[in-house]
Amino acid sequence: MELTNISFKKYRGRRLDPDQLAGHSVTYWKDVWRRIRKNPTAVLSLAALMIILTLSVIGPIISGHDLSTINPKRANMNPSAENWFGTDNLGRDLFTRVWYGARASVIVALVCTLIQTVVGCLYGGIMAHFGGWVDEVMMRVIELITSMPTLLITILTMMVLGNGMTALLVAMSITSWCGTARLIRGQIMQLRESEYVLAAVALGASPFWVILRHLIPNTFGLLMLTIATSIPDYIFTEAGLSFLGIGLQPPNTSLGVLISIGQQTMDFFPIQLLFPALILCVLVLAFNLLGDGLRDALDPRLRQ
Amino acid sequence: MHAKRLTASVCTVLLIISLVLSACGSSESSQKSGEQKLDKDQTLNLFFESPTTLDVNDVRNSSEFQLLTQVQEGLVRTYTDKNGKEKIEPAGAKSWKITDNGKVYTFKLRDYKWSDGKKVTAQNYVDSVIRLLDPKKAFAYAFFAYDIKNAEKYNAGKAKAGDVGVKALDDNTLQITLEKPTPQFNKKFGFVALFPIRLDVIKKGGETYATDYKAQVFSGPFIIKSWVKDNSLVLKKNPKYWDAKNVHLKTVNFKTVEETSTQASLFQSKQTDVIAGTQQYIKKWAAEAKQGKIQYIHGNTPLTSYIVFNQKTGGTSGLLKNAKIRQALSLAINRQDLVKLVFGRYRPAYGLIPNGIQVGDKDYRDDVAQPLKPLYDKYNGNKSELQRLFKEGLKELGVNKKLGDVTLTLITTGTDALSKSEQEYYQQEWEKNLGIKVKLNILESKLFVADRNANKYDLLLNGWFGDYNDPSTFVDMWTTNNGFSKFFGYYSSKKYDQLYQSLDGVTDDAQREKIYAALEKQLIAEDAGVAPIYYGDSQYFVQNYVKNISFPLFGTPIDFSRTYISGKQ
Amino acid sequence: MLSYSIRRFAEMILTLFIIATATFFLLAAVPGDPLTERVEKLPPQIRQNLYEKYGLNKPLLERYVITMRGLAVGNFGESIVYPGQTVQSILQEKLPASARLGIQQMVLGIGIGMILGIIAAMKKNTWLDYGIITLAILFISIPHLIFGLLLQKIFAGELGWFPVIGWPKGKDLWTGGWQYTILPTLAGCFSYIAAYSRLLKTSMLDVVNQEYILTAESKGLSKMHIVLKHVLRNSLIPVITNLPMSIAMCITGSFFIERIFSIPGVGMYYVLSVNERDLPLIMGQTVILSIIYIVVIFITDILYTVVDPRISIQGGRR
């Protein structure tokens, strides 16, 4: 028998309890969480991240030194009971500076990722929702942005906006949302065609309900992955820009700034390079490993 | 990364430049080539920044001075002896005499040739001066020739080229007539921008003449063999050079290397022969030099670094027109700690004119005490006294503000770690000693220029690198409405202008020195028109096998025209 | 196919046009111009002459039209900072170094990455698998700059096995002077190792679950035979389709590695010309880099249809 529109009628009876329709997504997430917990590297990196994040909040407080006070008598000291990570060339406490810098680096990375995700989701959602020529035009815009050299756009944006936190955030996320938008668009389009969404629509679920209950949870995994891999990218980009002298202004500091300073004295005081570089590497490594664990956990092909 | 493109005369940013520019010093062995056995491989390896032009008239920054002095030949060449004393020796000129009460210079030229075989004539020198002053060409160093009769007028379009006081009496005789007797011209005529030029070659070279090394002809000890922009440059010995028998180096390799630690690795592995020391490296290598492993050549550099106050608008805070406030800002900086902590070199500056600058043949600083020093010692970092001075200034201005509510903006360009340390040091010193707030604005150089021209600053960092060995090169630009005043905060003082006027026509050295001292005191101590921070110095380390190398105070950082390699293998 | 190519070509031209326009106006919005510092001390008349010479005094739109007209006929104009240098001459001088460095990094990185990927897939869920992937991630978690500096310090500075800086030139430009290229190549190859080992591992696991592999296994073929003959071949699709993008990225140069090892490449030059606002050079380089990128995308699309017949060109967008 051939199936046509006439073969089906929209259900007009009492609305079904939506939870009955969506009950499965909960176990999916439980499953993901279970598999992450079983992955030792992921758990370890999660723990490392927690420690770094905690220290970046309380580190500057417990050190008993402040960020910028210069102490000519204690310049270039090795680690000691007084200065746990030693001091820099102006006698400032490195422990305070490193954690303060880590805080700035993480905040920059998080905010940029947030901008990227929000803009990307909105843009991608609009593309997927409207389709047709709207999709076509918006896709062209993305293609344009991605075919321009990123470094050029970033540097020029910084020059137009001037140095500082806001400018840095804008300059770093100005091109990055394109990937997210593309991803979301693809995912939504794919999901919309999937059987269970069709079934939900056929069963009378409102578009709002479909988005809330099906589209968002099912793109969430992918989003988490993008977020986990974007953060280390931003931390690197910020560090790279610091070398070009672009970015945060003193007395503010970041891991990138500290590394670029430490690098100049590494022949004599390797410790001044070691600590910021080590924390940057651990931070990035933890995010990368977590992302990798997440990728495995989310990948149905690897499900056992 | 930008400072390297700035001019040598106006170092808009000094901090990085100074490492590159620093000059003077002495070579352990003076001119005694021939006594020692020469190595077979006569190659010298050096660092440099890529020059932007090969046009002698258009010369602007130290890398161009470095290159052009070694591939072209001017009237004289400057060497340094064991004690770092400069010795000016005839080069393109065989001899000269000064007549008419110091107004007329007559040079007898040597018979020497361009690398294409043509003779260098007096007309080549005349062409150079005229071209340098050509108003249409707009060369930055045109002002350097203003001592010459009618030069300034021609440059301003108010006289004809033929009126300029420079003549070729015959092929071998060059005569320069000055506007008025100017003793310091004696120290200026060897300058790169006055080197001879070949108009026919320039014409043939067309638009690309200035950057195409293949379009050049050379008259100096070396010729350019290859050049990869922003990366490397290779010189070969010029076989047609008049003194070729005393030029021993066959090849000189210049390389651009950005990272200090990379430079250090290259020097330590003997892949580079000369390096300028910075920070901790100075201590380390000086110790090695003591053991005789390398040569340590250090001395003065005609450089003073300043903190500039915006006296045009009073700055974004509007406070900088007050002398007491400026004085408080100047006295609040502990210069001794700064040079020790941040640079590991340089001398604290309490005056305008650095060590090594001479009046006649006497060191100015040996005779004249630094004008800011007594005042600085009186305050000696006393917070409450400094704050009282600042508050008095506020009162004079009628500003009713607490110190904690005062915010000053410091703009700078240095983005490398060293400059950042320096900037943060100033910020901390002012905030700690004066209780005010200081906003740091580190800008890319073109943005810096934009902010400075729009007067969007209270304080900025600048400095001055002298062009010739006389205090006048340091006091000239502080007069009212001077062309340079926008780089130095538009300092303007009637007293200073009057004192400067009194210099006119004074040829007696003792008399001149007195006036210079008065000018310095007026600017630095009385008016606090600018805050001197440190004097430059030169800290060179040279491999033992490099002999007879010179580090002149002015012009080129290194002169290696008579250098030779002995004992490398 | 022909009409598709024509359409794509027209699209490419339009894209380039908009990119050039965007770059032009973005640059115009940035304070300062190539002459800013040069004219600082000059009298107004001379300053004006200079601006006239380079057409910088004309209204923005007129300058835009002139620039675009030049671009249309492939004339990018001359550098303002280095008179006489053109985009062509600079790329001719700088591109070979960047390209060789990039290609070496890529070949080494992808080669090692693929071997590691195969091992990781075959030893799935063993310590070897975890070890390889963790190691790959560890290396991409170290900034290029620090990694490069360390390599330089240890292997060139302390041990003296390699020259500290430099790059082959002249007749050695492409095939000689290997001792110069080893450290920079190592410093930059890890991002490829990490990316490609992971890519190949996932794709192989994908293929392993396909029916024909089960068939081959049930026929009793040896594991080695299956992996080489069936799995690997079919797993290469994502690798091949990813290649063009890697190529496009690699030849545009790596700023930090070029800087540390003093390599005369385009990466570093690009940053310099932006700082100097050398408009003709920036425009030229941007357009050329964009052309490379767009052409690569085009090739990728074609490649998709070649290696995977299920995707047809007429089927529209990816």
Instruction: Give residue-wise pLDDT tens across range B256-311.
Output: 888 888 898 899 889 899 999 888 899 999 999 999 999 999 888 899 999 999 99
CB atoms C270 and A151 under 8 Å: yes
Closest CA to B563 of B252, B301, B286, B295: B252
What pLDDT does A129 receive?
A: 80
Q: Quick one: chain B helix, strand, coil %, rounded to 5?
A: 35, 20, 40
* A88 within domain boundaries: yes
**Residue B209 CA neighbour count, 13 Å, CB half:** 16
Residue ranges of domains in chain C:
93-269
Burial class (CB in 10 A: 0-12, 13-18, 19+), C68: middle
Q: Which residues on chain A are in Cβ contact (under 8 Å) with C26?
A: 153, 156, 160
Closest CA to C281 of C100, C61, C93, C99: C93
Structure confidence by residue, pLDDT tens digits, A13-65? 665 555 555 545 556 677 778 888 888 888 888 999 999 999 999 988 888 88
ipTM above 0.90, yes or no: no
A53 contacts: CB under 8 Å, gap ≥ 6 = A106
Residues of chain B with pLDDT under 70: 1-36, 82-83
Q: Does domain C93-269 have CATH number 3.40.462.40?
A: no
CB atoms A159 and B444 under 8 Å: yes
In whole angstroms, give the CA distance from residue B520 to residue B403.
Answer: 30
What pLDDT does C145 receive?
A: 81
**Tally of residues, chain C:** 318
In whole angstroms, give the CA distance from residue C32 to residue B284.
Answer: 42
- Give me the torsion for CA of C203, C206, C210, C214, rounded to 10°: 90
Neighbours of A291 (CB within 10 A): 22
Neighbours of C314 (CB within 10 A): 8
Burial class (CB in 10 A: 0-12, 13-18, 19+), B304: buried
CB atoms B428 and A162 under 8 Å: no
Q: Which of A196-200, B288-292, C71-75, C129-133 has the highest mean pLDDT?
A: B288-292
Q: A-side interface with C, Cβ within 8 Å?
A: 41, 139-140, 143-144, 147-149, 151-153, 155-156, 159-160, 232, 236, 239-240, 243-244, 259, 263, 266, 273, 277, 280-281, 284-285, 288-289, 292, 299, 301-302
Question: What number is the average pLDDT over the span C260-287?
Answer: 83
Residue of B340, B342, B442 with shortest CB distance to A245: B442
Binned at pLDDT 50, 70 and 90, residue A113 comes out as very high
Distances in whole angstroms, Cα of residue B315 to Cα of each of B310, B320, B321, B451: 5, 6, 8, 11
What pLDDT does B267 receive?
A: 92
A81 has pLDDT over 50:
yes
In whole angstroms, give the CA distance from residue A218 to residue B365.
Answer: 78
CB atoms A260 and B342 under 8 Å: no
* A273 within domain boundaries: yes
Ranking A281-290, B264-273, C287-296 by mean pLDDT, the lowest is: C287-296
What is the span of the domain harbouring residue B338? 302-537
Question: What number is the average pLDDT over the span C141-169?
Answer: 85
In whole angstroms, give the CA distance from residue C31 to residue B170.
Answer: 51
Number of domains present in the structure of chain B: 1
Number of domains present in the structure of chain A: 1
Give residues 245 to 274 of B whose Cβ lies within 8 Å of A: 259-261, 264
* Cβ–Cβ < 8 Å for B142, B155: yes
In whole angstroms, give the CA distance from residue C100 to residue C106.
Answer: 10
What pLDDT does B1 receive?
A: 29
Mean pLDDT of chain A: 82
Q: What is the DSSP string of B335-403?
A: HHHHIIIIIS--EE-SSSSPTT-EETTEEHHHHS--TTHHHHHHHTT-HHHHHHHHHHHHHHHT----G
- The stretches of chain C forming alpha helices (DSSP H) are 2-29, 44-53, 60-72, 87-122, 127-140, 144-151, 178-188, 190-208, 211-218, 223-226, 232-251, 255-260, 266-276, 279-307
Q: Which helix (H) or strand (E) holds B155?
A: helix B151-155
* B102 within domain boundaries: no
B276 contacts: CB under 8 Å, gap ≥ 6 = B19, B20, B22, B538, B539, B540, B541
What is the span of the domain harbouring residue A241? 44-67+83-302
* Cβ–Cβ < 8 Å for B413, B443: yes
Question: What number is the average pLDDT over the span C266-285?
Answer: 82
How far off is chain A from C176, nearest CA to CA, in Å? 31
What pLDDT does B29 receive?
A: 39
CB atoms C19 and A301 under 8 Å: no
In whole angstroms, give the CA distance from residue A26 to residue A30.
Answer: 6
Binned at pLDDT 50, 70 and 90, residue C41 comes out as low
How far off is chain A from B286, nearest CA to CA, in Å? 15
Residue of C206, C270, C290 with shortest CB distance to A148: C290
Q: Which residues on chain C are in Cβ contact (under 8 Å) with B449?
A: 32, 36-37, 40
What pLDDT does B10 receive?
A: 35
Is this model's pTM higher than 0.90 or not?
Answer: no
Q: Which residues on chain C are in Cβ contact (under 8 Å) with B209?
A: 84
Interface test with B, best of A65, A66, A88, A89 (most B CBs within 10 A): A89
Give residues 35 to 64 of C whose Cβ lies within 8 Å of B: 36-43, 45-47, 49-50
Neighbour subunits, A (≥3 Cβ pairs < 8 A):
B, C
Q: What CATH number did the domain enclosing B514 receive?
A: 3.10.105.10
A131 contacts: CB under 8 Å, gap ≥ 6 = none
In whole angstroms, give the CA distance from residue B405 to residue B422.
Answer: 24
Tell me the residue type at B42.
Answer: Q
* B337 within domain boundaries: yes
Q: Is B435 helix (H, G, I), strand (E, B) or coil?
A: coil
Closest-CA residue of B relative to A68 is: B428
Tell me the residue type at B229.
Answer: K
Q: What CATH number did the domain enclosing A172 receive?
A: 1.10.3720.10
CB atoms A69 and B418 under 8 Å: no
What pLDDT does C316 receive?
A: 41
CB atoms C270 and A152 under 8 Å: yes
In whole angstroms, give the CA distance from residue A118 to residue B238.
Answer: 66
Closest-CA residue of A relative to B442 is: A249
Q: A-side interface with B, Cβ within 8 Å?
A: 68-70, 72, 75, 89-91, 159, 162-163, 244-246, 249-251, 257, 260-261, 263-269
* A19 within domain boundaries: no
What pLDDT does B324 receive?
A: 94
* A146 within domain boundaries: yes
